[in-house]
Amino acid sequence: MTVTVDEDRYRLLEDLMIDSRLDADSAGRPLAPVPAYLLPAPDQGPIIELPEPAAPRAGLDDVLFGRTAVRDYEPIPITAAELSAVCAAAERMDADSWASERDGGVGLEFYCAAWRVTGVDTGLYRYLPGRDALRRVASLPDGPDAAELVMQSEFAQAAAVLVITGNLAGSLARHGSHGHRLLLSRAGAAAHAAWLAALRLHLGGSVFAGLLPHVLRERAGADGYHRAPLLAFAVAHPAAEPAA
């Protein structure tokens, strides 16, 4: 029988595998399962279809000069169509401005922590661009416990928080250290597009960077490198100004 070089190599590989299995057996340690936060991001959750983005209720010129960071919110829900408009604005900004980056494999992802959105259960979702839908990725604490998700508890009182993540590993491979700056600029543009869309719906909020990395690592597989949290936007009905 003729043994080809390829078969030879295959046998060598098999022998090596047997050796390494023996190594693992003889080490005799009980093998712990890999912790959930080191597993690939969950991508099996149910899909929730969102309505079409709500149409703007005000012109940009009418609301732009009133834009200010708002951290006090009414505890009332926003609609799913309003959330849809906020997510779509962020996604559109990135798609229109950095198409070549996305074609090159460096996308942004948009996660949505929803607490008070009509028709959307409390939870963490990934926005599915192009189909106005959310995929549920994890549960979220509600009520006073929601504050454990963010550095500033006031942002957990928002109706929803849009969290923007990016592929830092991919961007660095493409651009060197400039890749990090580029991702931050993209996240800034997307978050502010979301903010302007919210203003035009007479909603308010603030961009913020005070995210707790472990929350997204554990719940969305955001390892900080292949999926790095970049910036967030809290959206809600602003609290009424106290009477003077």
Ligand X SMILES: Cc1cc2nc3c(=O)[nH]c(=O)nc-3n(C[C@H](O)[C@H](O)[C@H](O)COP(=O)(O)O)c2cc1C
Counting residues that bind ligand X (by CB under 6 A) gives 9
Q: What is the rounded distance in angstroms from the CA atom of residue 165 to the CA atom of residue 42?
A: 15
Closer Cβ to ligand X, 179 or 204, answer by number: 204
Closer Cβ to ligand X, 135 or 192, answer by number: 192
- In sequence order, the β-bridge partners of residue 229 are 165
Whose tokens are 């948009």? That residue is 110
Asked if 68 touches ligand X (CB under 6 A), the answer is: yes
172-211: contacts with ligand X (CB under 6 A): 206-210
| 3-class secondary-structure state, position 231 | strand
Cβ atoms of residues 125 and 216 within 8 Å = no
Instruction: Find how far residue 150's CA is from the centre of its chain.
Output: 14
Asked if 233 touches ligand X (CB under 6 A), the answer is: no
State the nearest-atom distance from the C-beta of 61 to ligand X, in Å. Answer: 18
State the nearest-atom distance from the C-beta of 163 to ligand X, in Å. Answer: 12
State the nearest-atom distance from the C-beta of 141 to ligand X, in Å. Answer: 20
Closer Cβ to ligand X, 197 or 207, answer by number: 207
Cβ atoms of residues 205 and 154 within 8 Å = no
Closer Cβ to ligand X, 125 or 208, answer by number: 208
Residue nearest to ligand X (CB): 210
Closer Cβ to ligand X, 69 or 76, answer by number: 69
123 φψ region: left (φ > 0), alpha (ψ -120 to 50), beta (else): left
**123 to each of 73, 77, 112, 149, 240, how far by Cα in Å?**
19, 14, 8, 12, 27
**Residues found near ligand X in the complex (CB under 6 A):** 68-69, 152, 206-210, 231
